[in-house]
Amino acid sequence: MDLSLLLQSPLVNFAQLIGAYLIEIWDFLIFIGQISGVIIVLIGAILWFTEVNMKRGRGLVFSGILLSIVIEYFVLFPPNFVLV
């Protein structure tokens, strides 16, 4: 049996384990980003439409929409975590 195959097997297993952890972390970050986008838009809309601080409210609404678009891009085109 080839010695290089015996040495590479634990390294491949370790790389797959790291890849699985990266996928879990990525999914959690996407979840947090989606929730944050909704909360930012809601807070901005409340500030904007109640006329408490219209300028800041408008900015929050537009930045929340931009955040949601960026998060949706990463949902549609996630990074490739295959490490083999």
Closest CA to 63 of 31, 24, 37: 37
Mean pLDDT, the chain, rounded, equals 86
pLDDT value of residue 34: 95
pLDDT value of residue 84: 47
Range with lowest mean pLDDT among 10-24, 25-39, 40-54, 56-70: 10-24
Please compute the mean of the pLDDT values over residues 54-60 and round it to a whole number: 94
Q: Cα–Cα distance between 82 and 63 in angstroms, integer?
A: 32
CA 14 centroid distance within chain = 24
CA dihedral 10, 21, 78, 9 (to 10 degrees): 10
pLDDT at position 81 over 90: no
CB 11, CB 76: distance < 8 Å: no
pLDDT at position 7 over 50: yes
Q: Cα–Cα distance between 13 and 10 in angstroms, integer?
A: 5
pLDDT value of residue 48: 93
Q: What is the DSSP letter of 84?
A: -
Query: Whole-model pTM?
Result: 0.74
